[in-house]
A and B are shown apart, each in its own frame.
Chain A
Amino acid sequence: MNQEPLLVVEGVSKAFGGVLALSAVDLKVYPGDILGIIGPNGSGKTTLVNSITGFIQVDRGKILFKGRDITNMKPHKIADMGLTRTFQVMRPYYSLPAFKNLIVPLFSPRARRTGGWRGGGKMGSRDTVAVDILEEIGFERDSYIPYKTASALPTGYLKRLELARCLALRPEIIICDEVLSGLSMSEMASMVPLMEKLQMEGITLVMVEHRLRELFRIANKVVVLNFGCKIAEGSSDEVMESKEVKEAYFGSEEEVFSYV
């Protein structure tokens, strides 16, 4: 690829007390990628997402987005540039109806500048755009679900709502922290085409995942973390074949297939 990378992570390290959650992680994300980041529990995936999006301060290293240094910048400034994220622990505004949850991002400076998702905010009211986004992301428009209070929504919809919140900003990158985990098989089956559709729309995706089968299907590159270190990188097949990955991530060779 001779394109400029959209997001560059260079030697990022982060320690919590004595725990080295990230040690010198490098990463490059190119426009149009679906990059997968996998790793066992506690391997530092969420910490990496938090570091990139400014939710925690890194100890060392550099993060560039569209060539601009965003290391340790305030989260809202990073989001304002078009680098958005979902939360592994879902965080809707519980007291608001689902569609009203999207008014907050649609009211943000970035959405007002760009018109939000597909520039819709420049034409219609925010409420309409909010319901449009929800429909796009799999809420049945004519049902009561978009109008239901967020606290009453099942997990699958909350995960979608997380994604919808990112989309409302008209982002360039969405970093998804485990959007597929915790979903039922059928819910997941509908998420995968959705991710592919977003890629077609020109949104670059970074997918931090536990679920390997679905991720390997859609990711064009996979990075493997273990104990805060990057231990492998490459296409899904290459990563699956790599010996370090089998040992570190899966424990033993046989188990690979029970995961995948």
Chain B
Amino acid sequence: MSEPAKDRRKERLDRGIKVRTDGIYAISHWTEIAYLLTPRLLFIVGLLLAPVILIPFPYWQRVLSIVCIFALLAISFDFLANYVGLVSLGGALYMGVGGYSAALLNSHFGLPPLVTVPVSTVLGGAICTVLLLPCLPLRGVYFAIVSLMFPLLAGRIIEALDVFGGTDGIMGVDGFSSGWVEQYVLICSVLAAVFILRRMVSEDVGLVFTGVKDNDQAVKASGINITTYKAFGVFISSMLGCLGGACLAHIYMWAGISQFALDFSIIPIAATVVGGGGTLIGSVIGCIILVPISEFLRDFGTLRIAVYAIILTAFIVFKSEGIMMYGTRKYEQFERWVRI
């Protein structure tokens, strides 16, 4: 950024496509349609082509799957925090519940991955929602803390009671039939999650969620049960996490206590901060940046966390709006210097 001089200032002009409110566009010409669709298509086509581009690098194909799993968690966090107003650190809980469900369904009932994944998504979502139900009246940091206790507890309980394979976990889980299935199941899930949720939050139900976040008293005074809506929000969000967890169990062909690891709660939040909260796509972009970095840093061992912390701090200090907001602004507005 150049030095702000005294006799000039930066002027920002909208590109003149957006009129009235968000989401209502007056489109007249194909160039304008292209202008609007390009970023979306770039995102979709880019993700869909990524496994093909990465054919020469099988290791990075696997990283791509992990990126998608974290992206699901990050979308789940972003949705719950920025659209429903519940800051949940329960990512690890969703991962664990999803992973163990898929592993159990597969090893005990012999169901194939393409069945266990959707079943554990819904079943796991329901289990997590029931677990979090008593905490729904809590707000802000209290909800965050309690949601963090669950994954910690779950790991210890499995260890102490020696259920579900105890510390060894559940081994011998089937993998996906091929790497392609693995990657495309995940990529399609991420795309579906982003676009379905973005659609939903602008529908009338989505406005009720916004209402719960902005001011739950007024929602109550409107004759709406906020607990129902919060539970619904938690269900959607934990389904996404469980979907990721179920896929992870099939990728590693194993489910164990490490699926309740705090990384699954923390990294999605970092990704949302980096990418820009409240956009859903931003959190995916955040994962695309952070997860590969974390792979690069694997050699540094625990120093990884330090590097992470520095990146995160830098983002909060210098670009607190997140990449997504910054990019949107640059894309939709002209900027120029004008003399005063």
Q: Mark B140-152, 1 if CB is under 8 A from A, else 0.
A: 0000000000000
Q: How many residues of A are counted as interface, with CB atoms below 8 angstroms from the partner's CB atoms?
A: 34
List residues of B (177-218) whose CB comes within 8 Å of A's CBs.
204-205, 207-208, 210-211, 214-215, 217-218
Instruction: Tell me if B312 counts as interface (CB < 8 A to partner A).
Output: no
> Contact between A93 and B215 (Cβ–Cβ < 8 Å)?
yes
Do A104 and B219 contact each other (CB < 8 Å), given the known contacts A76-B226, A97-B21? yes
> Contact between B210 and A107 (Cβ–Cβ < 8 Å)?
no
Q: Tell me the smallest distance from the CB of A164 to a CB of chain B, in Å.
A: 11
Please classify how large the interface on chain B is, using the bins under 10, 10 to 19, 20 to 34, 35 or more. Answer: 20 to 34
| B contact residues around A96 at 8 Å (CB) | 207, 210-211, 214
Q: Tell me the smallest distance from the CB of B280 to a CB of chain A, in Å.
A: 16
Do A107 and B205 contact each other (CB < 8 Å), given the known contacts A91-B217, A93-B210, A147-B21? yes
Q: Which of B21, B205, B220 contacts A76, CB < 8 Å?
A: B220
> Contact between B214 and A93 (Cβ–Cβ < 8 Å)?
yes
Do A76 and B215 contact each other (CB < 8 Å), given the known contacts A103-B207, A107-B207? no
Number of A-B contacts (CB under 8 A): 87
> Contact between B223 and A93 (Cβ–Cβ < 8 Å)?
no
- What residue of chain B has the Cβ atom nearest to residue A111's Cβ? B223
> Contact between B223 and A76 (Cβ–Cβ < 8 Å)?
yes
Instruction: Tell me if B225 counts as interface (CB < 8 A to partner A).
Output: yes
> Contact between B222 and A92 (Cβ–Cβ < 8 Å)?
no
| A contact residues around B224 at 8 Å (CB) | 76, 104-105, 107-109
> Contact between A165 and B222 (Cβ–Cβ < 8 Å)?
yes
Q: Mark A111-132, 1 if CB is under 8 A from B, else 0.
A: 1000000000000001000000
Of A39-47, A57-65, A79-87, A239-247, the segment with at least 4 beta carbons within 8 Å of chain B is A79-87
Q: Tell me the smallest distance from the CB of A107 to a CB of chain B, in Å.
A: 5
Instruction: Tell me if B336 counts as interface (CB < 8 A to partner A).
Output: no
- What residue of chain B has the Cβ atom nearest to residue A94's Cβ? B214
Q: Provide the bound-state CA to CA distance between A79 and B217, in Å.
A: 12
Instruction: Tell me if A169 counts as interface (CB < 8 A to partner B).
Output: yes
> Contact between A105 and B204 (Cβ–Cβ < 8 Å)?
no
List residues of B (13-58) whose CB comes within 8 Å of A's CBs.
20-21
> Contact between B218 and A79 (Cβ–Cβ < 8 Å)?
no
> Contact between B204 and A53 (Cβ–Cβ < 8 Å)?
no
- What residue of chain B has the Cβ atom nearest to residue A81's Cβ? B223
> Contact between B223 and A110 (Cβ–Cβ < 8 Å)?
yes
Q: Tell me the smallest distance from the CB of A31 to a CB of chain B, in Å.
A: 20
Q: Tell me the smallest distance from the CB of B215 to a CB of chain A, in Å.
A: 5
> Contact between B218 and A104 (Cβ–Cβ < 8 Å)?
yes
> Contact between A108 and B223 (Cβ–Cβ < 8 Å)?
yes
Instruction: Tell me if A156 counts as interface (CB < 8 A to partner B).
Output: no
> Contact between A75 and B215 (Cβ–Cβ < 8 Å)?
no
Q: Which of A80, A103, A126 contacts B223, CB < 8 Å?
A: A80
Q: Provide the bound-state CA to CA distance between A95 and B278, in Å.
A: 12
Q: Tell me the smallest distance from the CB of B222 to a CB of chain A, in Å.
A: 4
Q: Mark B213-240, 1 if CB is under 8 A from A, else 0.
A: 0110111111111100000000000000
> Contact between A93 and B21 (Cβ–Cβ < 8 Å)?
no
- What residue of chain B has the Cβ atom nearest to residue A106's Cβ? B204
| B contact residues around A97 at 8 Å (CB) | 21
Q: Tell me the smallest distance from the CB of B36 to a CB of chain A, in Å.
A: 21
Instruction: Tell me if A227 counts as interface (CB < 8 A to partner B).
Output: no
Instruction: Tell me if A168 counts as interface (CB < 8 A to partner B).
Output: yes
Instruction: Tell me if A55 counts as interface (CB < 8 A to partner B).
Output: yes
Q: Provide the bound-state CA to CA distance between A84 and B218, in Å.
A: 10
> Contact between B222 and A55 (Cβ–Cβ < 8 Å)?
no
| A contact residues around B215 at 8 Å (CB) | 91-94
Instruction: Tell me if A159 counts as interface (CB < 8 A to partner B).
Output: no
- What residue of chain A has the Cβ atom nearest to residue B20's Cβ? A147
10 extra interchain contacts, Cβ-Cβ under 8 A, other than A79-B221, A104-B219?
A74-B225, A92-B214, A92-B218, A93-B215, A94-B214, A103-B207, A109-B224, A126-B204, A147-B21, A169-B223
* A–B pairs, 18, beta carbons within 8 Å: A55-B220, A75-B217, A76-B219, A76-B226, A79-B220, A79-B222, A92-B215, A93-B214, A93-B215, A94-B215, A96-B211, A96-B214, A100-B207, A104-B211, A107-B205, A108-B223, A109-B223, A111-B223
Across chains A and B, which 8 residue pairs bring their CB atoms closest together, nearest first? A79-B223, A105-B222, A80-B223, A93-B214, A104-B211, A75-B220, A108-B223, A91-B218
